[in-house]
Chain A
């Protein structure tokens, strides 16, 4: 579905990603794990077109590199950014409607879908985004992403700064979304939880992929255990 070959990206003079190769097949959950500053967010930004990159990114055999971000969203690649970035002065419903900006016909159906997944959002539908807790904002950010009819959902650190309870809710939601047929590329520092729900994973270090394998394999890998799981 998504094929990344020899991808290089960065900000101005600073190169962040170095010859990255990643493939994602339809229906998978794929994790990219690594520590802070390894280039995980930059990878997602390169895919969604918000950071300039060189190399090859193809989605269903079409190159994404020349496309502006709003056309990449149109293809069904939806990026839920790090730090949620919800619209603080809009209500929950308005935030969700913005997520469905390109799919106005599906608003009602998608709202129902989001409210079923996150009943809390339905309760808070008229609350301003800026007045919600971090966990609620994360639900809203994921829900807003779902409003865009994603075929491939890019999730950037969805569990960052969340309590264990909310983390479980978020990972549960990711599984549910995936079993609805949405392919997921998950970028996380929470190595254990994300590899556990992933079919495959990549370990990224200082902009390079250093290890790849099935989720279970990586969890049992000695280096991964030592570096990320404190074992």
Chain B
């Protein structure tokens, strides 16, 4: 029973991690940039959900309808103004730029919202369902998981069927050839970054009802998103989805069977093991950078 409980809660949390990982992976695939501001974009999503709830009295899940387009626009503009300047530059420049942007966001949040953690308490925050005796699943996490599945399915359909989605994949597979097809790759980069940002913000909003909301909350999630990307294979959307679930389950198992203090250690040992044994990731291609 303990095993099943641990597995199920791991999958539920992992789903939200997956969402963050997919966003980071998509950006990496299309733009070949590791976005170190990804965690801070998640943090912004948490605050957006918090303020939508406290100021506008909108349910955090309903608020996604506002958060997703806002975050997309924010990411799109951020790419147009900052990120596109480093797209053909060495990786260290890109890393410095995205870390810098992340620091600006987290420190602005510190100034504006103070370092006191906020808690978003909805009427169902501590509700749980018990599908079986001895198994209890948190209702907000179940909601979050369902929304994650829905968004991932929509994203998958968009990438595999729509013309823009196919152009994004083409750009990710071969940027030069995509250009020769008449695809405006600069626009694709901005769209990818916009989607990446909305996925990060969505993940942030989805965990807002179950986590402390704090200006520096993004940092631990950045590390997780990065681990997920490497685990799944950088640039692979499917890999990131699976990677997210794996990290969620491993964390949950580690807290159950070892100790919750050790869960991060277990995750990073797994991360190192993947780097050693299968550096291209579970779904990655050999020979990538």
Contact = CB atoms under 8 A, between A and B. Distances in A.
Contact of A89 (B163, B173, B176, B185): B173
A37 interface: no
A48 B174 CA distance: 16
A87 B182 contact: no
B180 A79 contact: yes
B114 interface: no
Contacts of A101: 163, 167, 170, 181-183
Nearest to B160: A94
A50 B177 CA distance: 10
Contacts of B177: 81, 85-87
A73 B167 contact: no
A80 B182 CA distance: 12
Contacts of B184: 68, 70
A87 B174 contact: yes
Interface in A36-58: 48, 50
20 contacts: A48-B180, A50-B179, A50-B180, A68-B186, A69-B180, A69-B182, A70-B179, A73-B182, A78-B180, A85-B177, A87-B170, A88-B173, A88-B174, A90-B169, A90-B173, A98-B170, A98-B183, A99-B181, A102-B181, A148-B181
Interface in A63-102: 68-70, 73-74, 78-81, 85-90, 94, 97-99, 101-102
A98 B179 contact: no
Nearest to A88: B173
A151 interface: no
B86 interface: no
Interface residues of B, number: 18
Looking at chain B's contact residues, the main secondary structure is helix
Given A94-B166, A98-B167, 7 more contacts: A48-B180, A50-B176, A69-B179, A70-B179, A87-B169, A87-B170, A87-B173
Nearest to B236: A89
Contacts, number: 64
Contact of A148 (B170, B178, B182): B182
B99 to A, nearest CB: 27
A73 B182 CA distance: 5
Contact of A73 (B163, B169, B174, B180): B180
A144 interface: yes
A48 B178 CA distance: 12
Contact of A102 (B169, B174, B176, B182): B182
B58 to A, nearest CB: 39
A70 B163 contact: no
